[in-house]
Amino acid sequence: MGDCCSNNREGKVQSVDLKNLDGLICYCFEKSKKELFNAVKNGEEALIIEDIKLKIKNPGCFCKTANPSGKCCLPDVQEFIRAIYHFSNDKA
């Protein structure tokens, strides 16, 4: 079990490209960008965040080896959600 998400939530986040939803946003628990995008569109992003947070506690994360950045994915997840909201507000 890693502790990377308890003390490594700062630093540069992934760049957000809403035109390319391929790939993972959370590498430890295999949450895809498309899955998160659809969850935000359906108002269900809190379910994904809660699932990630529960799994961070048990069985634990391993971001240092799973995430190419070597850092906790939660800042990337939160930035991705902000970008979707920003994009959606720009379209309205």
pLDDT digits (tens, 9 = 90+) for 73-88: 899 899 999 999 888 7
CA distance 17 to 68: 17
Three-state helix/strand/coil letters over 25-75: EECCCCEEHHHHHHHHHCCCHHHHHHHHHHHHHHHHECHHHHCCCCCCCHH
What gap in Å lies between CA 30 and CA 68, rounded to an integer?
Answer: 13
Kindly state the percentage of the chain with pLDDT values over 90.
49
CB atoms within 10 A of CB 57: 11
Percent of the chain whose pLDDT exceeds 70: 80
Rounded to the nearest angstrom, the gap between the alpha carbon of residue 90 and the centroid of all alpha carbons in its chain is 22
Containing 7, the helix (H) or strand (E) segment is helix 4-7
The pTM of the full predicted model, rounded to 2 decimals, is: 0.80
Residue indicated by tokens 């930035």: 79
pLDDT for 16 equals 75
**Summary mean pLDDT of the chain:** 84
